[in-house]
Structure 1
Amino acid sequence: MWIIILLTFFIYFISYSPLKGSSVHTFTNGNRPRAPNPYWVDEDLNLKSHRLSDKLSGPKLQEHVERINEEAEKARQLLQKHVDYQMGMRLIKKTKILGPIGREPIVWWKYQTFPTSSPNSSTIPRKLKSKTNLFRFVPAIGKARVYYRTTFVDIKPLKPLKHEKDNYIFARRYLPKEQREWPSIANGQLGTVVNSPNVFVNGLYNGLAKEGDTHRAIIPTTCAFNITGVKPNHGAFVRQYVLDAYEGTFIQHIMNRNFQIRHKLYAHRDITELLVVEIELHRYQEIDLELEFDIIKWHGGDDITFQRTTINVPDDVIYKFGHVNTIEVEGVPPSEVHILYDKSRKMKVSADEPLNTKWFFITSISNNKVDTFRAYKKAQKLIKKDRLYQIHRDAWRKVWNEGRIEIDGDDELSRAVIGSQYYLYSSIPVRRNPKSPFIGLSPSGLPFGREAQDYLGHVFWDQETWMYPSILMLHENWGKMIVETRNRTKLFAAKNAKLSGFKGLRYPWESAFTGIEACPITADGPRNREIHITGDVAFAILQYLYASGNYSEVSNGPYQEILTGICDFWVSRSNYSKSRGLYEILDVLGPDEYNDHVNNSIYTNEIADLSIRGTLSALAKAGVNITDRWSHVSNKLFKPYDQVRDYHPEYEGYTIGRKVKQADVVLLKYPLMVQMKRSTQINDLKIYENVTDPNGPAMTWSMHSIGHLELNETKAADKFFRKNLDYIVNEYQVWSETVQGVSKSAANFLTGMGGFLQNILFGYGGFRLYPDRLTFKCILPENTAQLRLIGIDYRQSSFNFFFNRSTTVITMTRQGKISLTLKSGQYVQSFKLNDAVLLKSLTGSIKEPI
C-alpha cells in the first residue's frame, strides 16, 4: 500500500511542468521557480485530508477552489505579519496520477502560492522556516483523499509584475452586489461604470433647466461584455476583477487549467472618443476553443433619439447619430451625438492557430461625425501596430508622473489616496478640445448623473471648493481648465443675475451645459439663496493667479471681466444697515444647508469680502487701472462674531447647540485663511464639532482635521482624518457621499475625495498659496513613514517634495522662466534644475527673489 502511494507521488513530481505563456497581472509567468530557501506557514494550516464523496465538477469544484483560496488568504495574512511581499499564484497544468487501489486515475489541478519578491530570510521567524516544499493539490474529478498545504517559495529568478506599484491595483474575486459600488472608467470625455448599461459624455444633457430637469443624457452601452463560458466545456474557472489605477484599465482575469483570458475595458486616455474592449486568450495547449459571452443589448432610452445609416459604413460596424430630445434653454441648439461601434462577433480559435489571440471591440463617440470616424480609423491602425493599449497606458503613466500624492507605511491609506486621485483624474480630459469644451466636475464624476440620481451630473461649488485645490497644485494645466469652465458660462451667469434682480455675474448653484441655473425647483433654498457659489468661483480664480503668476490673464484675458462682474454682484446683493452703519447680506443659505433663510452667513460674507479684496489686489498686480466701486462694501461688511464666547456664529442669531449639516464656519481659517485669534479657532472647532451631523457629507471631517493641524493638535487631526476612510465602500476605493452608503447618497463621491486629498496636501503637507509665495509645514499622518508629493506646480516650475519625520527633500523637476528661491528659517537658496535640496526642517517657503 505505502509503495503504491509513494509511487503515485513520484510519478506526479516527475510529470511536473510549469505553464508558459502570457502573463496575467496578478499571476507570474516564467520558468519553474527555484526555491533555495522555501518556507511555509504552520499556523491554522496543518496538513489536512478530505474524503470527497462526489465528483468535483461545475459548482462543487468552484466551491472547493474558493474554500482553498480562502485558506491561502489566511496563510498570506499570517506571513505578511513577518515579511513584506506580494502574493502570486501559479496554476500548473493538469496531471494524471494513480488513484487509490481499485480506482480510476485522477486528474489534478496544482496551485502554488508564493511571494513575488524576495524577503530577507533572516526576518522570517524560526517557526516559519522549513525544508519542506509541499504543494496544494486540487482535484478536478474522482473520489480520493486530498492532501494539500499552502507553500510560499522564493521566486527571485521570476519576472516581476507589470509594474511595482501594488497599491495602484484594486482587486476582488466578485463584483459588489450593488452596481453603484462598481468601479468606473473615464477619460474626461466619456465615462461609464464597468459592465453597466449606460455611457455618459462630457457636456451631453437632456431636459429643461428652468424646471430643474436637465441631467446627463444616457447613451446605451456597446461595451458591456460578460464572458460566461467556453465551448467545449473545460471545467470550472476562477475570476478576478481588477481595477488598475496606474494604467486606467478595468481587467477581468478568467483562469482555467487549459487557458487564461484577460478581458480589458478602458476609456482611451489619449484618443478620448474611444471606449475599448480588449479580450486576450492564451491557451496552454493546442485545443479548439470558443468564448461564450453575454452583451447588454442596445436600449433606446428617453434622452436621445437615434437614427442609423449604413451609407459608407463597413458591414461589421454600426453607425448611429442623434440629438437630445429636450434642450436645456430655448434658443440653444440640441446637442448632437455620433456613435460608431463594432458589431459583436464570435470569438473562436482552432487548435492549429497561435496560442495567443486578441479580439478588439471599438466604440467611438463624439458630438460630430468627422471626429467619430477619425478616432475609429485611428484605433484600427493602432491595433495593427499593437499600439492602441500602449498609447493609452503611457498617457495614464504620464498623468501620474506629472503629479501625484503617495504615502508610505500604511497600505490602506495609500490605496485610498491613489484611488481618490484616479477617480478625480479620470473625469478630466488630458487636453482642451474646442469642439467639445470641458463642462466641469460634478460630485459623482463623469460616469454618473442620470435622471434623478447623483446630482444629475451638474457642476456645483464642489468643483471649486473641494476638488479643484489639489488638482491645481498637482496639475496646474488642469486647474486652469477647471477655471475656464466658468469663463465659458459667464454670459448665462450675467443672465442669472439679471433674472434675480441683481447686477454683474451670478453663477448658478447647479450648472449643466449652458450655465443657466439648473437646480431642481424642489430645492428652493440652494436654487435661490445659496449664493456663496459666486464667491467660490472668484476664490478659485485668485488661487490660480497665486499659483501660476499669470496676471497677464487678468489684463489681457477673461479673468478681469469675471472678477469685476462678481464684485458687482456682491455690491448689488448687499444692503446698508443704518442702525449698524454696516453692509449686510440678507436671506441666504450658507454651506450648512440645514439652516435656510438666514441673515449674514459668516461664510457668505467672508467669501464676498475675499472676492472684492482679492480682485482689487489682482487688478493692481496686473497693472489694470480701474475705478474702485466695491471696497466701500467690503470694508464695512458685517461679520458675526461673539466677543463673549470668542467664536463665530454661523449666521446672525445662531445659538450654540443647533445642529449643522457640514463644514461651514470651520472653512474660515482654511481655505479662506481668515485672520483670527488662536483661541477663536479653537472655539470654532470645538463648538461645531459637537453639533455636526455624523451622517453628513464626507468632506467635512477633512476641514476639521486641517484646523487641528494648524493648531498642532495632531491626535485630534488624525482622528478626523481617519474618519474619511469610513466613506470608502469597497476595495475599488469607491466613496459614498455619507456613511449610509451609495443606496442612500451619491455614489463615487468626488467631493469627498477632493476634501480628503486637501487634508493631505494642505493639512499634513501644510501648503498655503499667498499672492507672493508658497509655504509648507509638514506633519506626517500617524503610522506613516514618508509623504511624497510629486509634481507640485508653482510659478511655471514643478517640484518633488519628500517628507519624513524630520527632514525634507525638494527637487525642482521643471524650471520655468521665473527664478524661485527656497527659504527655511535662516537658510536661503536659489533652485537649480534637478538639484535636490535637503532640509533638516519640515517648514519653508518658495517665492520669487526680491
Structure 2
Amino acid sequence: MLKLLWLVVILAVLRGCTAQTPEAYLLQSYSLPPDLNFMPTLGNGHVGYTVFGDAIFMNGVYNGPSGNSKRARIPNWLNISTEVCDRFGCATDADVAVNGTSYEMDLRDGYFRSRTTYKGLGLTVEQRTYPHKYFNRALVYEVVATRNSGYTARANSPQFLRLSQHPGNASDAFEFVVVSNGSSASGDYRTIRGRTEVLEFERFQPEHQEIYVLFSESLEQPLQLEWPTWQAELSHRIIICIDRQQSVALKELQDVLQLNANSLLQRHTDAWRNFWDRDFSIELVGNAPELSQIINAGIFYLANSLPSLSTNQANEPFYGLSPTGLGRGNLEADYQGHNFWDTEIWMLPVVTHFGFEYGKQVLDYRSRKLEAAKYNARSKGFKGARFPWESAFTGTEVTNPCCPEVAQQEIHISPDISHALQKFLAQSGDFAWVCEKAWPIAAEVAEFVVSRAACEEFRPVCHLLNVMGPDEDHPDVDDNVYTNAVSKIALEFAEWAGVYCGNDSTELFEKWRLVNDRLLILHDTQLDYHPQHVGYVVNTTVKQADTILLGYPLGYDKSTTHLNDLRIYSNVTRESGPAMTWSMFAANYLTSKEEWTGHEYFERGYKNYVRPEFKVWSETPLGYEGSANFITGIGGFLQAIIYGYGGISFSRNDNKTMMNVRVGTAPLDVSEVHVNYLRYAHSTCRWIFGHAFSKMDCGARTGPDFVMVQGKKRTLLGRSFNVTLLKGDEPIQISYLE
C-alpha cells in the first residue's frame, strides 16, 4: 500500500512538471514583432528586462541628476544565443524547417522560449529565459538541444553548441570594474561591481549606488559545448545574479547552483502557478480566445513588475510601478522608469486584488518618500507634502527638463495618492494601517492643498489656479474640475483619518473643511455638464480622460450631469489618446447602465493598442509613436472588466467599509466572467457575472461576520456566504459587523 501511495505521488509530480499550458496562457508566434520593443518584458520586482533587448534594470537603481535621472542600464548579459556547429561551420537559416522556429511566452509558467527545428540535421534546440520568481536575484538562461528520434550520425552532424552573449553597448550609467574573473580551481565566480555615475539629488542621496553582478561562468568569449554525435541530448544553463550586496548575490548564486536545471525551473513555475491559482486570475466562458489571452497577458505583465512575496532572501524596499514596468526605463519613451499618478490611479486598484500585501508594497514607496514630498512643497513656497509629478530614487522632482510646466502644474498627483489610500482602506478594512501609514500622508497632502488654494475674501469660494489636469493639452488653467474634485476628496479623507487616529486639533480640521466646502466645482447649468476648466469651450479637443473621471474612479458624481459629461467629452477626445482613456469611458458607461456604448469603448480600449504576437500593450494606437509594455493601459483595461462589467466598488462610510455590488454584465462573445480571489477585508471571494446575473461566493477563516443590506432588508451572512443577483434586483452593500 505504501509503494502504491508513493507511485501516485510520483505520477502527480510528473504530471505537474509536464502539464500542457492552456491556450489562454500560451502566446505563440512564428515571427517576431517588426519592432522588438514589443517583445515580452519579464521581471520579478527585483530585476527585469525585455526579451532580446540590450538592458537589464534593477528595482530602485537610477542614474542622473534631477530631470535627467533614469533607470540605470545594466548591459543585458542574459541576451544569449545558441548555434549548432560542426567542424566545418555552424547551421544557417537554410537548415531550419519552414516555420521551424517558434517563439512562445508561457504566461502561466512565467518564461519565454524559442524552439528551432533543423530539418536536415535531425535536431531541435530550445532556449529559455526568465528572471526567477523565488530566487529573485537570479536571471536564468537555459538551452536544451535534442537529436530527434530516428537520428543517424552523419559527416555533417553537429558536434558542439556555441553560446554567445549580445549585451549591447557599454552602459553609460555605471562605472564597472571586475572584482574577480572567476576560477574553477578557486571555486569563485566572475564578479563585476557597478557604481552609478551621477547622483539624483545629493540632499536625499549622499552616496552613489553600487550593484554586484555575478556570473555562473564567463561568456566574454563564445562558449563551446562539446556534443558527441552519439549523445541524444545536451543541456546547459547560465545564471546571472544581481544585488546591491555582493554577499546576497553570492548566496543566491550558490543556492541556485545546488539545484539541477529541472528543479530550478520547477521552483519558478510553481511560484507563478501559485500566483494564478491562489492570488488572482480572470477566466472567460464563451467564444473569446484572444480576449482571454489579452487578459492573462495583461495580468502577467503587470504582476511581473511587482515584488515576489515569497523569496529565497529578503526583498529590498520597492520603488514603485512606472508606466512601462521594471524591465524598461532608460529611454524617454519609457518615461525613464519614473513613478507618476499612473501607479495609484491606474494600476493600484488592480494590484490590490492580487493581494493586500502587494498594495501595501506599492503604497509604502510614497510613505518612504514623504519627507522628500514635504521638501518639494517647501521649495515652491507651500506647506505640507507636494508629491512630484515624476519621482524615482529620492522622491524629489525628476520630470524631464523638456516640460517644466508639467512639474509645476500637475498638482493633482498629491490628492491622487490620498484618494488611493482611502480606496485601499475601503477594500482592505485595515484600520491599523490607516493610522500608521495613511494618516501621515493624508494630513500633509491636505496641508498642501490648503496652502495651494486661493480663497476669495468676499465670496465663499476657493480656487486652484494655474494648474494642469490629466488633459495635458491644456496647461495653465484655473479650477480644472478633476483636480478640484480629487482635492476635495483628499481633504475629507484627511479630516476623517485625523479624527479616527486620535488627533484632536479642531482648528486644523476646520481649516481643511473650510477649503473643502468652498473649493469650486464648475457646472454649466444650461448644458448640465462640468466644463473641464475655466474658459473651456464645448467641442474643444482634449487629450485623454479628465472630467469623466468624476464618475469612476472618483465616485464624486453619478448624476445625470455625469452622463452629459460622458457624451460631450466622448466626441472631443483625440484619437491618439492613451490606452486607458477608452477603458475609463467603458467603465463609466457600464456603471451608468449604458451597456452597448460601454461595449464599444471597451473594445476600442484594447483592439488598437495590443500588439498581436505577445499581447504587449502600446501607449498609443497603431500608427502613432508611444511607449511599449504600457502597463498603465493594462491597469485601466482590467479595471473596466472588474469594476465596469463586474459592477463592484468599495467605499468607506464613517468607520465602516463596504463592498457595493450591482448586477454586472459581460463583454461581447462572453457568457460569463469569473474573477477569482477577489478580496474584501478578511475574506476572499469568487465573483462570477454574466449578461443577466451576478454571483458572489466569499469565505473567511477568521474575523467578524458579514452583513448584507439590500434596500431596507438587512441579512446576517456569517463568515462565509453565497449571494446571487438577477437582472432587475436592487444593488447590495456588504460590510462586516463591528
Q: CA deviation at 1:291?
A: 2.2
Q: CA deviation at 1:165?
A: 2.2
TM-score with structure 2 setting the length: 0.89
Question: Is 1:356 aligned to 2:233, yes or no?
Answer: yes
Report the counterpart of residue 543 of structure 2 in structure 1.
661
Which amino acid in the other structure matches residue 259 of structure 1?
L
Distance 2:241 2:17 in 1: 34
Question: Is 1:339 aligned to 2:216, yes or no?
Answer: no
TM-score with structure 1 setting the length: 0.77
Question: Is 1:427 aligned to 2:308, yes or no?
Answer: no
Which amino acid in the other structure matches residue 830 of structure 1?
L
Report the counterpart of residue 131 of structure 2 in structure 1.
267
Report the counterpart of residue 201 of structure 2 in structure 1.
329
Which amino acid in the other structure matches residue 525 of structure 1?
E
Asked if 2 retains the 8 angstrom alpha-carbon contact of 1:313 and 1:319, the reply is no
Q: CA deviation at 1:405?
A: 1.9
Question: Is 1:486 aligned to 2:366, yes or no?
Answer: yes
Distance 1:377 1:292 in 2: 25
Q: Which moved more, 1:254-263 or 1:311-320?
A: 311-320
Distance 2:168 2:622 in 1: 33
Which amino acid in the other structure matches residue 239 of structure 1?
T
Question: Is 1:776 aligned to 2:646, yes or no?
Answer: no
Asked if 2 retains the 8 angstrom alpha-carbon contact of 1:554 and 1:619, the reply is no
Distance 1:684 1:631 in 2: 27
Q: Which moved more, 1:781-790 or 1:309-318?
A: 309-318
Q: Name the SS for the 2:608 alignment partner.
A: helix
Q: CA deviation at 1:687?
A: 0.8
Question: Is 1:318 aligned to 2:175, yes or no?
Answer: no
Report the counterpart of residue 716 of structure 1 in structure 2.
597
1:808/1:683 CA distance change after superposition, 3 Å: closer
Distance 1:325 1:314 in 2: 32
Asked if 2 retains the 8 angstrom alpha-carbon contact of 1:775 and 1:845, the reply is yes
Q: CA deviation at 1:710?
A: 2.0
Asked if 2 retains the 8 angstrom alpha-carbon contact of 1:218 and 1:301, the reply is yes
Q: Which moved more, 1:534-543 or 1:772-781?
A: 772-781
600, 615, 624: which one aligns with 1:733: 615
Question: Is 1:370 aligned to 2:247, yes or no?
Answer: yes
Distance 2:709 2:111 in 1: 42
Which amino acid in the other structure matches residue 594 of structure 1?
D
* 1:322-471 equivalent positions in 2, closer than 5 A: 322-331=194-203, 332=205, 333-341=207-215, 342-344=217-219, 345-353=223-231, 355-383=232-260, 386-401=262-277, 402-409=279-286, 410-431=288-309, 436-471=316-351
Which amino acid in the other structure matches residue 306 of structure 2?
I
Which amino acid in the other structure matches residue 828 of structure 1?
T
1:829/1:807 CA distance change after superposition, 3 Å: farther
Distance 2:689 2:331 in 1: 45
Report the counterpart of residue 635 of structure 1 in structure 2.
517
1:626/1:398 CA distance change after superposition, 3 Å: farther
Q: CA deviation at 1:702?
A: 0.9
Distance 2:458 2:334 in 1: 45
1:223-250, CA deviations, whole angstroms, 9 ceiling, x for partnerless residues?
1122344437784341100001111100
1:534/1:160 CA distance change after superposition, 3 Å: closer
Q: Which moved more, 1:587-596 or 1:401-410?
A: 401-410
Computed over aligned residues only, the root mean square deviation of the Cα atoms, in angstroms, reads 2.4
Which amino acid in the other structure matches residue 302 of structure 2?
L
Report the counterpart of residue 142 of structure 1 in structure 2.
none
278, 288, 306: which one aligns with 2:142: 278
Q: CA deviation at 1:417?
A: 0.9
Asked if 2 retains the 8 angstrom alpha-carbon contact of 1:186 and 1:426, the reply is yes
Report the counterpart of residue 57 of structure 2 in structure 1.
200
Q: Name the SS for the 1:685 alignment partner.
A: helix
Distance 2:295 2:547 in 1: 26
With a CA cutoff of 8 Å and minimum separation of 6, indicate the structure with the bigger relative contact order: 2
Distance 2:644 2:363 in 1: 23
1:837/1:582 CA distance change after superposition, 3 Å: closer
Report the counterpart of residue 189 of structure 1 in structure 2.
46
Report the counterpart of residue 682 of structure 1 in structure 2.
563
140, 163, 166: which one aligns with 1:296: 166
Asked if 2 retains the 8 angstrom alpha-carbon contact of 1:247 and 1:397, the reply is yes
Q: Name the SS for the 2:616 alignment partner.
A: coil
Q: CA deviation at 1:623?
A: 4.5
1:657/1:380 CA distance change after superposition, 3 Å: same
Question: Is 1:548 aligned to 2:428, yes or no?
Answer: yes
1:639-659, CA deviations, whole angstroms, 9 ceiling, x for partnerless residues?
111111100000111111111
Which amino acid in the other structure matches residue 96 of structure 2?
A
399, 409, 417: which one aligns with 1:537: 417
Q: Which runs of 5+ in 1 are unaligned?
A: 1-29, 31-157
Question: Is 1:798 aligned to 2:674, yes or no?
Answer: no
Distance 1:383 1:560 in 2: 49
Report the counterpart of residue 705 of structure 1 in structure 2.
586
Q: CA deviation at 1:286?
A: 6.9
Q: CA deviation at 1:322?
A: 1.8
Question: Is 1:226 aligned to 2:81, yes or no?
Answer: yes
79, 85, 96: which one aligns with 1:236: 96
Asked if 1 retains the 8 angstrom alpha-carbon contact of 2:214 and 2:242, the reply is yes
Asked if 1 retains the 8 angstrom alpha-carbon contact of 2:323 and 2:337, the reply is yes
Asked if 1 retains the 8 angstrom alpha-carbon contact of 2:463 and 2:519, the reply is yes
Question: Is 1:828 aligned to 2:715, yes or no?
Answer: yes
Q: Which moved more, 1:238-247 or 1:274-283?
A: 274-283
Question: Is 1:788 aligned to 2:674, yes or no?
Answer: yes
Distance 1:619 1:300 in 2: 51
Report the counterpart of residue 167 of structure 1 in structure 2.
24
Which amino acid in the other structure matches residue 471 of structure 1?
V
1:713/1:356 CA distance change after superposition, 3 Å: same
Which amino acid in the other structure matches residue 231 of structure 1?
D
Report the counterpart of residue 736 of structure 2 in structure 1.
848
1:558/1:808 CA distance change after superposition, 3 Å: closer
1:78-109, CA deviations, whole angstroms, 9 ceiling, x for partnerless residues?
xxxxxxxxxxxxxxxxxxxxxxxxxxxxxxxx
Asked if 2 retains the 8 angstrom alpha-carbon contact of 1:590 and 1:664, the reply is yes
Distance 1:373 1:159 in 2: 31
Report the counterpart of residue 3 of structure 2 in structure 1.
none
301, 305, 308: which one aligns with 2:175: 305
Asked if 2 retains the 8 angstrom alpha-carbon contact of 1:474 and 1:790, the reply is no
Q: CA deviation at 1:830?
A: 1.7
Distance 1:336 1:297 in 2: 20
Q: CA deviation at 1:579?
A: 4.8
Report the counterpart of residue 456 of structure 2 in structure 1.
577
Distance 1:820 1:356 in 2: 58
Q: Name the SS for the 1:570 alignment partner.
A: helix
Distance 2:28 2:558 in 1: 47
Distance 2:651 2:554 in 1: 11
Distance 1:706 1:469 in 2: 13
Q: CA deviation at 1:636?
A: 1.1
Q: CA deviation at 1:262?
A: 2.0
Distance 1:514 1:398 in 2: 34
Q: Name the SS for the 1:760 alignment partner.
A: helix
Asked if 2 retains the 8 angstrom alpha-carbon contact of 1:231 and 1:292, the reply is no
Q: Name the SS for the 1:780 alignment partner.
A: coil
1:178/1:783 CA distance change after superposition, 3 Å: same
Distance 1:348 1:840 in 2: 66
Question: Is 1:522 aligned to 2:394, yes or no?
Answer: no
Larger Rg: 1
Distance 2:101 2:182 in 1: 40
1:456-476, CA deviations, whole angstroms, 9 ceiling, x for partnerless residues?
110000111111111113322
Distance 1:811 1:620 in 2: 35
Q: Name the SS for the 2:470 alignment partner.
A: coil
Q: CA deviation at 1:821?
A: 3.3
Report the counterpart of residue 443 of structure 2 in structure 1.
564
Q: Name the SS for the 1:309 alignment partner.
A: strand
1:170-197, CA deviations, whole angstroms, 9 ceiling, x for partnerless residues?
1111211211111121111111111211
1:164/1:377 CA distance change after superposition, 3 Å: closer
1:286/1:297 CA distance change after superposition, 3 Å: farther
Aligned length: 686
